A and B are shown apart, each in its own frame.
Chain A
Amino acid sequence: MIVLAYILLILAGAFLLYMTFRTNDRRYIYLAVAFYVIFPVVLTMQLPIDISPESQQLYDAIAALPDSSAVMLTFDYYASTLAETEPMSRAVLHHMFKKNCRVVTMTTIPLGGPSISERVTRDLAEEYGKEYGVDYVNLGYKANYVAVLKGMGSSIKAIYPADNSGTPLDEIPLMAEIKNYDDLDFICVIADNGVVEYWMSIVNAQYGIKIGSGVTAVMAPKIYAYVGSGQMTGLLGGMKGAADYEKLVGKPDAAIKGMAAQSLVHLFIIFAVIVGNVIYIVERRRGKGRV
């Protein structure tokens, strides 16, 4: 039965590629991509996940923190990449709350950052029975991330006189204990843009605090350089990284559920590239040069 399903899947993909080539209408390829995403999601297919060493490194770094450590989790991503980044934030926050860490969250993203961080932290805090202001605080957004990152090194209160909902920091018990980076044990940056590099070059380099990160797949290859240099302690790369962490904390969610669809579409694209190149080679030999 499963073999038959796979044969049908391959035939469907091959047929749609053939139609794309014949009609030169790219919508057939769109149809194929939609098909390979919808099919495994509808069937809720789940595949075994092998943990990447970089994901394991991040997990180990957080696991090694003493209970009740003060940590920072950043929501440096736009809503456009929620499918990759929110599962990372959730998985990491699960881990932090499980360890009874005191969590400070913030964002450098003006469009949606504060709303996303508020939604995710309150959602998980409810699950773990955490109290706002004592166990976690959401600082929200301030403009110009370079100034924000640098300024928090001297005084968080100077940059964030109040939290996301406008409560003065002086009235928040947790923030009485956390004045600047010296009072934090670890920072986990979840980002979909270059701000993660400034967390390295400004915060890690100048204040010596350990930083781990979860970034979108587009960013991940670049961040390998920081992991290799030891500036970054662990890395979650794209949905696979999120799936790794969900498995590590034992909270399978959207990322693990998405890996089957991810697999099928990747295989389809590789198949399409091979077919495209075969057509190209054949036509070049015939001297047509159409493709």
Chain B
Amino acid sequence: MSFVEHLQIWIAAFFMLSLFSFLYKDNPFYKLAEHIFAGLSAGYYIGLVWHAVILQTMINPMIQDGKWWLFIPGLLGVMMFSRFFKGFHWISRYSLAFVMGNTAGIFLLSELHGKVIPQVQATMRSVDPSQGFGGLLLSVIIITGVISTLLYFYFSKEHKGLLGGVAKLGIWFIMVSFGAHFGYTVMARISLLIGQVQFLIFDWGGSIQQIFF
């Protein structure tokens, strides 16, 4: 490992340990690392937007391909900053309306066409007698689960009588799903810790070994 490689591993390890030190208690090392992290993340956006958006998508096509009309979205983008000026913040609504309207237009169809219809279709098609008892049981679980979950979230009528019973069944299904979510969430968080520990032991530990032993 070269000096630079050692140095960059030690810097990364220092800031990681500074953040982990919060587990013991709040301290200046943690605070410093936290503030540097926030600053670097904000700075990253500036570099990214400058190259990926302003230069590559707007200015270069305007100059090289003669797409002069791209100044319009640029202007709409600049208008967003009117939010910082009292009395002029309404100007940013034009840009927001453009983005919101566009996204709404895409969502209006894609949410129905790409989510509702295929999911409803799949629920209906889940009944397949050729799959034997296991398949039948799975179909019953899926159909009952989907209907009871949907009815649990139906709040226009009081959950009493038959609706109350189905909604109660819905809660049980939801609890099973949330349990699965919790199990998976535990897994996710532990995985992230393992990643950091692997870095500290293999990379930083390797560097320590090379320098001191």
Interface residues of A (CB under 8 A from B): 27, 30, 33-34, 37-38, 41-42, 80-84, 110-112, 114, 140-144, 146-147, 150, 160-162, 164, 166, 168, 197-198, 200-202, 204-206, 216-218, 220-221, 225, 228-231, 237-240, 254, 257-258, 261-262, 265-266, 269
Contact = CB atoms under 8 A, between A and B. Distances in A.
B55 A166 contact: yes
Given A140-B52, A144-B99, A205 B114 contact: yes
Given A27-B23, A147-B102, A202-B114, A261 B194 contact: yes
B154 interface: no
Contacts of B49: 110, 143
Interface residues of B, number: 51
Interface string B56-78: 11001100110000000000000
20 contacts: A27-B24, A30-B23, A33-B190, A81-B192, A110-B49, A114-B52, A142-B52, A146-B103, A147-B106, A160-B56, A200-B115, A201-B113, A202-B114, A205-B118, A218-B181, A218-B185, A229-B118, A231-B118, A238-B187, A258-B198
A204 B91 CA distance: 37
B197 interface: yes
A258 B186 contact: no
From B53, B60, B194, residue with most partner A Cβ within 10 Å: B194
Contacts of A83: 191-196, 198
B187 A266 contact: yes
Contacts of A162: 56, 60
Contact of A37 (B102, B114, B197): B197
Given A161-B57, A228-B126, 9 more contacts: A41-B198, A41-B201, A81-B188, A142-B57, A150-B106, A200-B115, A228-B142, A230-B122, A262-B194
Interface of B: 23-24, 41, 44-45, 48-49, 51-53, 55-57, 60-61, 64-65, 99, 102-103, 106-107, 110-111, 113-115, 118-119, 121-122, 126, 142, 177, 180-181, 184-188, 190-198, 201
Contacts of B114: 200-202, 204-206, 231
Interface centre among A225, A237, A266 (most CB of B within 10 A): A225
A146 B195 CA distance: 31
Contacts of B194: 37, 41, 83, 239, 258, 261-262
Interface centre among B23, B57, B184 (most CB of A within 10 A): B184
Given A146-B106, A206-B114, A266 B186 contact: yes
A228 B124 CA distance: 12
A168 B57 CA distance: 10
Contact of B184 (A37, A111, A204, A221): A221
B60 to A, nearest CB: 7
B181 A221 contact: yes
B52 A206 contact: no
Contact of A218 (B111, B126, B184): B184
B106 A37 contact: no
Contacts of B195: 82-84, 254, 258
A30 B103 CA distance: 44
A200 B181 CA distance: 21
A114 B60 CA distance: 20
A205 B109 CA distance: 10
Nearest to A264: B190
A152 B204 CA distance: 42
A196 to B, nearest CB: 12
B191 A266 contact: no
A161 B56 contact: yes
Contacts of B60: 161-162, 166, 168
Contacts of B106: 146-147, 150, 202
